[in-house]
Structure 1
Amino acid sequence: MNKLLKFIKKIEPKKGTINHTLYDGLFTFLFTPNDTTTPEGVHIRDRIDLKRTMVMVVLALQLCYLFGTYNIGHQHFQALGIHTGFFNGFHLKLAYGLTKLLPLFIWTHVVGLGIEFYFAWKKGHPIEEGFLVSGALIPLIMPPDLPIWMLCLAVAFAVFLGKEAFGGTGMNIWNVALLARAFVFFAYPTTISGDQVWIAGFENILPGAQVEYGWWQTSFFNTLFEWFGWAQFDPSATIIDGFTGATPLALAYEGGWDKVTEIYSSSQMFWGTIPGSIGETSKPLIILGALMLIITKIGSWRIMVSGLFGAIVMSMLFNLWGATPFMNVPWQDQLLMGSFWFAIVYMATDPVTAAGTNFGKLIYGFLIGMIGMIVRIINPAYPEGWMLAILFMNTMAPLMDHYIVESNMKKRLKSA
């Protein structure tokens, strides 16, 4: 390790250059911080820095990445009526998912990190690590066939106006990943809502529509699979009769829970073998990630638990109202649909944009659960509410913390 440190130190570029900015990012990635507080006083010395805190969140997301990649391919072949069993055509589904997810992941980081590196160089400070998590989250909350140019615009908008305009990492008011999704939703709504966007590989999700394969499928992977004698991609395949690309939420709007269960079982919705955003469908894997964040104390359990209670309470109130079929969906079934688990675990717990006080976190999470469920059920134009709920509560979090701190100070002054 000492030899590696000496070698890295030896190749350090001149300070103030873009090369030194890139070098500093690599150096702090390889080695823990050497600057600590003095032994005297009340300061706590710790080897973990912001970069390693962010890496823990990225690691917790890896199960969602693995499942999301495979589910892209699984939904694609479900539409074709080929390899309909979950593990059937494993190599084809995984290969197809990779061809869809990797471009989203790569371009998200090229644009986002490129902007981060530029601002770090111009400001003359080390590379900030905040985009590690945002860059990992953005591909998981997008449809698999989102045009790359649209993704790049969304990432640039989110990083420029949502982060750097406020001063960079730790200064942003709103969650950067959700801003990217919000940009796509409001600027190009047809690419992120409706029944046509969640199944990759087709111009339209209609019976008889022909699959659209590119060079990766027909040349690279087909040649590779031919060597092993495995099944290959069929460019002449078409969508089978009776297939729908509708998500459970869209079906619930049409006819309540009975309409949903005509297409999807509770087991499918729980395990995540349904259409939806890439990383948001598998509830058990998201919960495993939540446990990891709670055990490592990276994510706030107060926000997660209070958000769950808020969603349940609001759903039960709608059950009592019962004015529409969607309102009558039982609360436990509401939790099987949509992106609630992903939103409350990975989006709402962002330490920069969430409430900072313990009591504030409880209120913050509970209101996200309630507001998100209200938007989901009441607003027919947007069949999910967590993005809007979290962005709204991001805005209100500083005000909540202010009044909670003021209240605590007044109580302590009285006792003094």
Structure 2
Amino acid sequence: MKFIKNFFERTEPLVQKGAKYHWLNSVHDGFFTFLYTPKTTSKTGTHIHDYIDLKRTMSIVVLSVVPALLFGMYNVGVQHFKAIGELASTGFFDIFLFGLIKVLPIVIVSYGVGLGIEFVFAQLRGHEIQEGFLVSGMLIPLIMPVNTPLWMIAVATAFAVVLGKEVFGGTGMNIWNPALVARAFLFFAYPAQMSGDSVWIALKDTDKVVDGFSGATPMADAAAGHLNYSVADAFFGFIPGSIGETSTLAILIGAVLLIITGIGSWKIMVSTIAGGAVMGLILNAFAGSAGLSPEVATYFSMPFWHHLILGGFMFGAIFMATDPVSASQTEKGKWIYGFLIGILAIIIRVINPAFPEGMMLAILLMNTFAPLIDHYVVAGHVKRRTKRAKVSA
């Protein structure tokens, strides 16, 4: 692959300031530094230099979601052939191929639109291409229903990149997780297309359509008082749902990689799961209260561990809540931030019948309050140190 590096080095003078193709400098630099370790260092300000840069960090995160992506492709095929009654007679390759054909265009549209906008903003501002969308471009498809139209994916991605990140200054400056901004945009702008039964399972193939089949997610079924899926099905992921959110096992494999490499905060992961478990136990205690309808009582009585493996709870706890830009930065703040996400997610999904899945709203809400949490954590540290200083004086 040396000829690729030689090509970039030979063409580098052509894109420098004042050169013929200077307007392509950001694009050239973006591809060059993505493929090879940058040969430059920071020129201004004070920076901490590490053996791993932002591109390598983003690459590890993308690698960590690959198990969820691959299983999601397979599960798309499983749900389709199960719906049309042909699962038992269909081989593994055909099942996976069906899912690949359905999911790959969503990934391509997400990256194509998002990176295209990133390139445009980099050129307009005259700065290097920022790498944050390497992760967002993969997370956006994974949190979408498989039958979401491609034009909706494109519009949501553009909204997330422009209004969810670039207006705040780009990567590292955004308030909310960009992937969740895309999901929230579609959820509120196109509720019928995002919450209807038909979006969760690819029901159509070349020659048949299944009439009267409900493809509702387990969360929607649970909200209606029907627990139709076993703990094993939910844990391994053989249930309807967004592409990458169904398999808790695949998500936990990615979590191990994030924790080992130090990229993801284990404190946020653990505290989010703990918050969800605590809220689930509290609701269990009120399941027998008078005045609750049978459907609501069933939802209240759902074991807390079932809450953790259904819907987008685990995916959000591992890959969304741990976003280092929009999450709390202080060590104590991470515990508080994650715990409140877990609490709010279960409250929203159980108490509010309009939102059977609460993880998205819980994370976005706590993204908003993360700076406030850090402020009070830091203020508390300063206050305690001031008191100790006065006593010692």
TM-score of the aligned structures, taking structure 2 as reference length: 0.90
Task: Report SS of the residue matched to 1:350.
Answer: coil
Q: 1:413: how far off?
A: 2.5
Contact 1:37 1:44 in 2 (8 A): no
What is the aligned partner in structure 1 of residue 316 from structure 2?
Answer: 343
**For residue 401 of structure 1, what is the amino acid of its counterpart?**
D
Of 350, 365, 370, the match for 2:343:
370
Given that residues 194 and 246 in structure 1 are in contact (C-alpha distance below 8 angstroms), is that contact kept between their aligned partners in structure 2?
yes
**2:172–2:325: 8 Å Cα contact kept in structure 1?**
yes
From 93, 96, 104, the counterpart of 1:94:
96
Aligned partner (choices 191, 197, 210) of residue 239 of structure 1:
210
Cα distance in structure 2, aligned partners of 1:372 and 1:338: 11
Matching residue of 1:69: 73
Matches of 2:54 and 2:218, distance apart in 1 = 38
Aligned-partner Cα distance in 1 for 2:54–2:378: 25
Deviations 1:29-57 (A, max 9, x none): 1222334589xxx9754231111111110
Following the alignment from structure 1 to structure 2, what is the Cα–Cα distance between the partners of residues 247 and 83? Answer: 19
In structure 2, which of residues 6, 25, 28 is the aligned counterpart of residue 23 of structure 1? 28
* CA shift for structure 1 position 59: 0.2
2:373 to 381, 395, 400: 400
**Contact 1:273–1:282 (Cα < 8 Å) also in 2:** yes
Given the alignment of the two structures, is residue 11 of structure 1 paired with residue 41 of structure 2, yes or no?
no
Deviation at 1:4, TM superposition (A): 5.8
2:11 aligned partner, one-letter code: I
Question: Where do residues 77-226 of structure 1 align in structure 2 (5 Å cutoff)?
Answer: 77-84=81-88, 88-201=90-203, 211-213=204-206
The answer to whether the 8 A contact 1:141-1:278 is kept is yes
Corresponding residue for 2:327?
A: 354
Query: In 2, Cα distance between the equivalents of 1:35 and 1:413?
Result: 42
Indicate the residue corresponding to 1:299 in structure 2: 264
Partner amino acid, structure 1, of 2:223: Y
1:239 counterpart letter in structure 2:
V
* Cα pair distance change 1:192/1:37, threshold 3 Å: closer
The one-letter amino acid paired with 2:350 is I
Please tell me the residue identity of whatever aligns with 1:23: H
CA distance, structure 2, for counterparts of residue 287 and residue 91 of structure 1: 25
Structure 2: give runs of 5+ residues left out of the alignment.
Answer: none
Q: Give the share of equivalent positions with the same residue, in percent.
A: 53
Q: Give, in whole Å, the separation in 2 of the partners of 1:394 and 1:321.
A: 29
Q: What corresponds to 2:281 in structure 1? A: 316
Instruction: Tell which deviates more after alignment, 140-149 or 246-255.
Output: 246-255
Relative distance call for 1:2 and 1:146 in structure 2 (3 A) is closer
Partner of 2:298: 325
**Matched letter for residue 115 of structure 1:** I
Distance verdict in 2 for CA 1:21–1:36, change over 3 Å? closer
Secondary structure in 2 matching 1:101: helix
1:251 aligns to what?
221
Tell me how far 1:382 sits from its aligned partner.
1.1
1:47-62 equivalent positions in 2, closer than 5 A: 47-62=51-66
